[in-house]
Amino acid sequence: MDAQTLVDERGELWLALAPLWLEREPRETDYAHMVNVIQRHDLSVRELEWVFRLELAPVLSRHQMSVAGEWRSFDDYKLMKQLVAHNLRLNGWRRKSWALFSGLTTMMTRHRWNELMGRVLVERGEVP
């Protein structure tokens, strides 16, 4: 897959979910926006989990761990470049490594992710 295809297929979703890693708790409007974008992408909860764990967390968790990291907002262009670069390399042993360590890269945002997935399930008429 090339960079433009990644941006076309995942860019909107990635940028919508990035606030899960910000310093502040997401607001109701943030969660509503995330749910709307997720609904447009028509991914299963399982597929969304892998987007969270493999496509986003390895890049965004670095911002949380960095002393000089961006905690209040992200530069969308810079973030998209980082996400595309990561995802273009995400195959074979890299994919397996990130899957193995995804518990570490998601632990600081897991509570927000669980809240979001509960809202997605309610929106879809499923039992959370």
pTM above 0.85, yes or no: yes
What secondary structure, in 3-state letters, does 81-122 show? HHHHHHHHCCCHHHHHHHHHHHHHHHCCCHHHHHHHHHHHHH
> pLDDT of 35-89, one tens digit each?
999 999 999 999 999 999 999 999 998 876 655 445 556 788 999 999 999 999 9
Domain limits at 60? Answer: 3-124
Given a cut of 80, is residue 122 above it in pLDDT? yes
What distance in Å separates the CA atoms of residue 66 and residue 46, rounded to the nearest whole number? 29
Burial zone of 50 (CB within 10 Å; 0-12 exposed, 13-18 middle, 19+ buried): middle
